[in-house]
Amino acid sequence: MSLVARHLEANGIPTVIMGCAKDIVEHCGVPRFLYSDFPLGNSAGKPFDAASQAETLELALRVLETAPGPRTTVQSPQRWSEDASWKTEYSNVSKLTPEDIAERRKEFDAVKETIKVIQGKA
Amino acid sequence: MAFAAEHDVPIPYMQKTREYYLALGYGNPYRWAHYVDVPFAPPARPLAASRVALISTAAPYRPDRGDQGPGARYNAAAKFYEVYTDSTATMPDVRISHVGYDRTNYKGDDPRTWFPLIALQDAVKTGRIGALTPRFYGAPTNRSQKVTTQTDAPEILRLVREDAADVAVLVPT
């Protein structure tokens, strides 16, 4: 998605990205980025929280209209929860058993196969 | 004022992903797109007079493609490979089972967290933005940077120009 933002911007259309993966978006390099420190999937605000969603969009719009230059990142002041322990749960390989690893590997290979089949048909 | 906890920082997804696939026994880790130069186009007019395009990585729900949530496991069969559009008049049924969202911490049960159409419609009603384009644009997440830069991004540019968009809001998942 960062690549799409760059392409639009290079062709004269100002963009803002709303996202939760700070390192990936900034690594690519985008014009404007509203970062929410939430679990992936919540780029536009917290679930079932209209105020959070409205505030998130408003902040993105302000970044769009006021960014002084490219690579402008603003971090939303909203918190997912008081306790930040959810961050340590994501893709924690130290918690995987050898059985987990075998299972995940099998699953990933199946996914790759599915993609190949679909692309072959496309 | 006390310091925050040591782990209370943005999650390093690139590092975590590399560690994960190495632990699974795969070499040749994914290389994320990376540039030094970044383009910048200042807005030509106030947002209240601008037409806004919404671009999303969410996938249209297709009943024949297996469980697409909420709470579904990663579902590669639900992926799409070509840019699509649909109306911004009503909230569409768009899902995220085809991407790696945080299934541990989020059930994925409120589409408004990944597709802010209702918030954007509200912004039109209050006059915060001038208008939405009549269509939104679906961007494929097929992990081929070549396809994204050479096919998908130019196609999205063509469509948003056709719809006379002034600015774009992009929401990856």
B33 in the Ramachandran plot: left (φ > 0), alpha (ψ -120 to 50) or beta? beta
In angstroms, rounded to a whole number, what is the distance separating the alpha carbons of residues B117 and A101?
39
H helix runs in A1-122, sequence order: 2-10, 22-28, 50-66, 86-89, 98-121
pTM: 0.94
| Residue B151 in contact with partner chain A when CB distance is under 8 A | no
In angstroms, rounded to a whole number, what is the distance separating the alpha carbons of residues A52 and A19?
14
In angstroms, rounded to a whole number, what is the distance separating the alpha carbons of residues B134 and B86?
8
Q: What does the pLDDT average to over B102-129?
A: 97
In angstroms, rounded to a whole number, what is the distance separating the alpha carbons of residues B123 and A57?
9
CB count in 10 Å sphere of residue A109: 12
Cross-chain residue pair A1–B170, CB shorter than 8 Å? yes
Interface predicted TM-score (ipTM) = 0.95
Q: Which residue of B has its CA nearest to A7?
A: B153
Cross-chain residue pair A43–B173, CB shorter than 8 Å? yes
Q: What is the pLDDT of residue A121?
A: 54
pLDDT digits (tens, 9 = 90+) for A69-116: 999 999 999 999 999 999 988 777 777 788 888 888 887 888 778 777
In angstroms, rounded to a whole number, what is the distance separating the alpha carbons of residues A19 and A22?
7
Residue B82: its chain A contacts at CB < 8 A?
122
Phi, psi of B41 (to 5 degrees): -125, 110
Q: What is the pLDDT of residue A119?
A: 67
pLDDT-based confidence at A122, cuts 50/70/90? Answer: very low
Residue B119: its chain A contacts at CB < 8 A?
44-45, 50, 53-54, 56-57
Q: Please, what is the average pLDDT of chain B?
A: 94
Instruction: Tell me the C-alpha to C-alpha distance, in Å, between residue B36 and each of A26, A30, A70, A71, A117.
Output: 11, 10, 11, 10, 36
Cross-chain residue pair B17–A91, CB shorter than 8 Å? yes
| Residue B6 in contact with partner chain A when CB distance is under 8 A | no
**Residue among B74, B163, B86, B90 at smallest CA distance from A8:** B163
A69: closest CA of chain B, how far (Å)? 7
Sign, CA torsion B66/B70/B71/B77: positive
